[in-house]
């Protein structure tokens, strides 16, 4: 019996290794197709080690390193579209567990600009880790951010909105109580909206926290409605797919859809009270 279990384990490990190799190659092909390779190399130089990017697990294999770095390059490419307009910007990153995006930004842009950066996170360990890198950080729920009177030029909100209990209220409060020039957002990309809450969907008895729990996983069309309703005008939006549109690796679309997300949806937003002013029950 032990021999059989050992064989099955070896088979599973082999299949998992092959699966990760396919996904890694898919990500590399997609990044090359999107012209992100040069930026990825720059990010690697600025922050060589991203193993502690997350509080709940370690980025400890080539697949995860490629996946995380490629997503970071997409996110920084969105920020790059707005930073040129700002002379001495204040950048606030909401929800980054390691301060990595602010390290990228300080490294890439501080030679030509006087940048002040601040990170906001609910996890005290994340705040400790970020401060340990010499960055400013405060411990706060995202929904309570307005209590700190932060005057930011750009808020970064990467892979955060899907974790919030009430994204509409958070977005509205951010619009109403700050004078921020831009909000740069990424969320998982899905063609069809769904409620996340996968620990309930799968009947798992795990104790979960905001960082590892998705509440709303919405399509781009539905996110646009939420954002406009909550006080934001869409300056630009873009979809990064984790597979190339060309080459044989485009067939990995089915794998990404089943086991992860097809990609990520990114937006650059400006405050706009047109639609929330027509809603009387905020």
- Confidence class for position 5, pLDDT limits 50, 70, 90: low
101-115 tens-digit pLDDT = 999 999 999 888 899
- Residue 8: the pLDDT is 62
- Residue 126: the pLDDT is 87
CA nearest to 219, candidates 193, 257, 186: 193
Do residues 118 and 138 lie in contact, with contact meaning Cβ atoms separated by under 8 Å? yes
Provide the residue range defining the domain that includes 157.
2-278
172-188 tens-digit pLDDT = 999 998 889 999 999 99
CA atoms within 13 A on the CB side of 52: 10
- Residue 280: the pLDDT is 85
65-83 tens-digit pLDDT = 999 999 999 999 999 999 9
Q: How far is CA 6 from CA 2, 11, 19, 239, in A?
A: 6, 9, 20, 42
Instruction: Kindly report the CATH number assigned to the domain that includes residue 72.
Output: 3.40.50.150
H helix or E strand, kind and range, residue 2? helix 2-33
Catalogue the long-range contacts made by 134-141 (C-beta closer than 8 Å, 24 or more residues apart): 135/99, 135/102, 135/103, 137/99
Neighbours of 137 (CB within 10 A): 22
Query: How many separate domains does the chain show?
Result: 1
Q: Which residues pair with 195 in a beta bridge?
A: 216
| pTM given for the model | 0.92
């Amino acid at each position: 019996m032990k021999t059989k279990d050992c064989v099955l384990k070896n088979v599973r490990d082999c299949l998992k290794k092959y699966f990760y190799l396919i996904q890694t190659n898919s990500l590399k092909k997609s990044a090359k197709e999107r012209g992100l390779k040069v930026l990825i190399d720059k990010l690697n130089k600025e922050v060589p080690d991203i193993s502690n990017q997350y509080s709940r697990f370690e980025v400890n294999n080539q697949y995860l390193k490629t996946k995380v770095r490629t997503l970071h390059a997409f996110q920084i490419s969105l920020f790059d579209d707005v930073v040129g307009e700002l002379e001495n910007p204040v950048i606030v990153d909401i929800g980054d567990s390691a301060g990595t995006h602010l390290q990228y930004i300080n490294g890439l842009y501080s030679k030509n600009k006087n940048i002040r950066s601040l990170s906001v996170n609910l996890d005290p360990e994340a705040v400790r880790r970020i401060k340990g890198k010499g960055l400013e950080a405060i411990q706060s729920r995202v929904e309570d951010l307005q209590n700190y009177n932060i005057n930011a030029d750009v808020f970064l909100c990467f892979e955060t909105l899907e974790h919030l209990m009430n994204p509409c209220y958070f977005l509205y409060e951010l619009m109403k109580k700050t004078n921020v020039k831009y909000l740069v957002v990424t969320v998982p990309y899905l063609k069809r909206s769904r409620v996340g809450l996968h620990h309930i969907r799968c009947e798992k008895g795990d104790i979960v926290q905001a960082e590892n729990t998705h509440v709303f996983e919405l399509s781009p069309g539905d996110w646009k409605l939420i954002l406009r309703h909550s006080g934001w005008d869409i300056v630009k939006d873009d979809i990064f797919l984790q597979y190339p549109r060309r080459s044989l690796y485009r067939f990995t679309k089915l794998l990404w859809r089943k086991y992860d997300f097809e990609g990520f949806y990114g937006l650059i937003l400006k405050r706009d009270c047109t639609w929330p002013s027509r809603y009387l029950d905020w």
